Structure 1
Amino acid sequence: MNKSTAQLMTMCTNNTNITTNASCHVDLLQGLAYSALFLLGVLVNAAALHAFIAKRDSWTDTHIYMFNLAVADFAFILFLPFRIYDAFFCLPKTTFCTFLMYMHFINMYASIMTMTAISVQRYLVIRFPLQARFWRKKKAAAFVVCLFIWATLLMICAIFRKENYPENLWTCYERCKDQPLKGQFIGILICLGFLTPLVIIVFCSSQIICILTKTDNKSEQRKSIVYIVTANMIVFTVCYTPIHVAFLVNYLYTPPPNWQSVSVPPHVYLLVSEWIAATNCCFDSISYYFLLKRFYS
């Protein structure tokens, strides 16, 4: 390894010892974008949680999955004020930033995995209606699946906890552009965190649409279910595809030596795609809770 390469690799680490203002810049657009998302997210997710808690005596397995999704989305929203503050005033780079970054992504992937479970459950109910109706352990199975989701995500974060330590951060919510995530971590995020859920959701949604459109009983209710399932599939793809493409691009991209003073396109794309992914927490409430509850109540 030559001297210049070694200096580049240690550049970000040495920056940790510099004052916070050295790498601090006000990102007005990002702050306003997340502020709008926070306000809308609080309203729709609080209403969704209230609706589910009010009906807790008549919960089914579907309600358990949806409540878990509501918890993940609402927890995601509750941590957004820290990101908004960092965009306007800059948080100091400490282990608290590591915690905030992992909370951001734990809740995002908890939402992704729960949506996958809902798609599978919805497909089984429509594909095998009689078996699903008389299976008595549906609620217990749903509870176990939700626990498994959270346990798996916490375990992955514990294994790769050093990936977002302060010495790897340029700001509280941004990694150094010259220190990408490990290839194993990227592989888990893309393959297990996105591609596998995407394939499952597309398969289950397509099967549901085929089953409901081929039936002779094409009532308004069935047509509505087809529209909702289609919309959910499209929203999932649109919200989560950009950020996982950004993960891969940033891993493969080699930033210029003066990356601190220039705008690196793949990094800008990553920031935009993170906001796009974050908007899904609002779409979840609208589609899964308020539209679907008329069919699963």
Structure 2
Amino acid sequence: MYAFLFSTDFNCRRVTTNCWDKGDTLQGLAYSPVFLLGFLVNAAALHAFIAKRDPWTDTHIYMLNLVIADTALILFIPLRIYDAFYCLHPTPLCTFLIFLHYINMYASIMTTTAISVQRYLVIRFPLQARSWRKKKETACAVCLLFWGLLVTICAIFRKENYPDKLWKCYERCKNIQLNPKFIAILVCIGFLTPLLIIVFCSSRIICILLKEGDKSEEKKSTIGMVTANMIVFIVCYTPIHIAFIVNYFENVSDNWQCEYLPAHAYLLVAEWIASTNCCFDSISYYFLLKRFYLFK
């Protein structure tokens, strides 16, 4: 999905023959279990929200926003699988699919960041947190801000993934340079800033819980879950953003269609790793937030 970060001139040689290869087949096989597992866990999460009868809190709003982002990403993976086996040629639909995936992935990142900040504030300032007003309204405003920001960025850089710049439906022409400002936004604002915030909040939560005298199994399990969520975030999203940078600076010859590019292969693997995060969110955050008594 993110294979659109390549360099040099602005003359894209379009694919006019069958674009199938072994790499495409492997992609189709790799994304199939991601779709099946992701669909099941996110469907279960949505069902839990629909069946919920207790009053909603700001945490539930963030969680629902996270599930919506992950579900929207999951629902369009079948088109990626279809493209792997039957080759969708570049059309406006492909442009839409690229940006849709982009929006939902970063909506998930931003919502995860918001949840980490909220949990840190609740644990760091427990008495003040109980007296905070309009928490649900604030959560709704934050989620809307995330979606609005992402849609705006896509609108600004919409021409970067127009069909005339696509080699395959999910791949940008390797000899066309992506706007460096777009890469800077993706890497710095979309990943590094959330990463620093999540690492800080998670680390502080762990330190606070370790300093407390209560060493119950539940407290230890909570620490383990916070640590696991932080590690999952790092493992899932670090490779793809490294790939963005590596592919941008990669030298591509005029015969790029016939070349095997290691950086491109790495990018495809990193894309898959990033997509697997939608399977972990619903599972990990459900148990994490439940242990913090957030579903009461």
TM-score range, shorter chain: over 0.9
By how many angstroms is 1:23 displaced? 4.1
Count of matched residue positions in the alignment of Structure 1 and Structure 2: 286
Match of 1:270 in 2: 267
Counterpart CA distance in 2 for 1:275 and 1:176 is: 20
Q: Which amino acid aligns with 2:9?
A: M
Task: Give the alignment's Cα RMSD to 1 decimal.
Answer: 1.4
Match of 2:100 in 1: 103
Contact 2:103 2:151 in 1 (8 A): yes
Local SS of the residue matching 1:170: strand
Match of 2:194 in 1: 197
Pair 1:155-2:152 in alignment: yes
Match of 2:27 in 1: 30
Counterpart CA distance in 1 for 2:245 and 2:34 is: 26
By how many angstroms is 1:145 displaced? 0.4
Evaluate the alpha carbon distance shift between residue 56 and residue 247 of structure 1 in structure 2; reply closer, same or farther with a 3 A threshold.
Answer: farther
TM-score normalised according to structure 1 size: 0.93
Match of 1:133 in 2: 130
By how many angstroms is 1:124 displaced? 0.3
By how many angstroms is 1:225 displaced? 1.4
Counterpart CA distance in 2 for 1:52 and 1:168 is: 41
| Large movers: runs of 4+ above 6 Å | none
The structure, 1 or 2, with the larger RCO (C-alpha pairs under 8 Å, 6+ apart) is 2
Pair 1:213-2:210 in alignment: yes
Counterpart CA distance in 2 for 1:33 and 1:153 is: 27
Structure 1, gaps ≥5 residues long: 1-7
For residues 144-293 of structure 1, the aligned pairs below 5 Å read: 144-293=141-290
Evaluate the alpha carbon distance shift between residue 43 and residue 261 of structure 1 in structure 2; reply closer, same or farther with a 3 A threshold.
Answer: same
Q: Which amino acid aligns with 1:227?
A: G
By how many angstroms is 1:22 displaced? 5.0
Pair 1:87-2:84 in alignment: yes
State which drifts further: 176-185 or 63-72. Answer: 176-185
For residues 39-50 of structure 1, the aligned pairs below 5 Å read: 39-50=36-47
Task: Determine what percentage of the aligned residue pairs are the same residue.
Answer: 69
Pair 1:68-2:53 in alignment: no
Going by fraction, where is helix more abundant, 1 or 2? 1
By how many angstroms is 1:10 displaced? 4.8
By how many angstroms is 1:56 displaced? 5.4
